[in-house]
Amino acid sequence: MRIDNTAAIVTGGASGLGAATAAALAKQGARVFVLDLAAGSADGEDITYLTTDITDGAAVEAAVATAASCGAPLRTVVNCAGIAPSMRILGKKGVHDLALYAKVVQVNLIGTFNVLALAAEAIARTEADEHGQRGVVVNTASIAAYEGQVGQAAYASSKGGIVGLTLPAARDLAQYGIRVCTIAPGIVETPMLATVSDEFRAGLAASVPFPQRLARPEEYARLALAIIEHDYLNGETIRMDGALRMAPR
């Protein structure tokens, strides 16, 4: 599927994976709409920031309508927004906070589904290309969906839900010419890691078989673009982790 002269939505695009993906899409000629609670800098690219809570149906519906009415067909959605708090099911301070568990699932899984569903509705109204394609949705899971560590019960649950969503979503939307894939990144050098020490980061990098370093947001963006442009990728979750399999802690 072509990217140039189309519209794209990127959630969580003010920083990290989303920012790299928004920039990459804009560089390829897409009109990009970033849905995020935080402000971002477009750096001269064709990127519009829409302050949006992805768990709010009405807010997402309005943002999707803005993207769909920009004059270019809405073809792409990349869901990067998410949170990753840590808490053990039973720890020194007691049982896992239920409200925190619900919030992680609400943002990471339900928020992703909310954007996917509402954007798919708009994409389905566009004219298909010569191959019957209308669009593609790329969601973001994590290798924690498969090897969640100590303290990641909520996060792993939410990301496992995204993996489980991928195939039925692809099957549901196939009749409209919309593909759905998921990327499951390993340890990526994002703002989430900015607060940890260089020594800790080096230890994380050393756990990756090869290449023995942290992944870069730009590598996620390149994979997302490859999925968008590869018409036969559908219903699949792709690990991007340097062959890393997470230990319990």
At 39 the pLDDT is: 77
Is 155 catalytic? The answer is yes
- Which tokens go with 242? 């340097």
Angle at 105 between CA 66 and CA 82, to 5 degrees: 55
DSSP string, 153-212: HHHHHHHHHHHHHHHHHHHHHGGGTEEEEEEEE-SB-SGGGTTS-HHHHHHHHHTSSSS-
At 232 the pLDDT is: 97
Backbone angles phi, psi at 48, to 5 degrees: -115, 130
Spans in the chain with pLDDT lower than 50: none
Catalytic residue among 155, 176, 220, 232: 155
- The structural domains of the chain, ordered by start, are 7-240 (3.40.50.720)
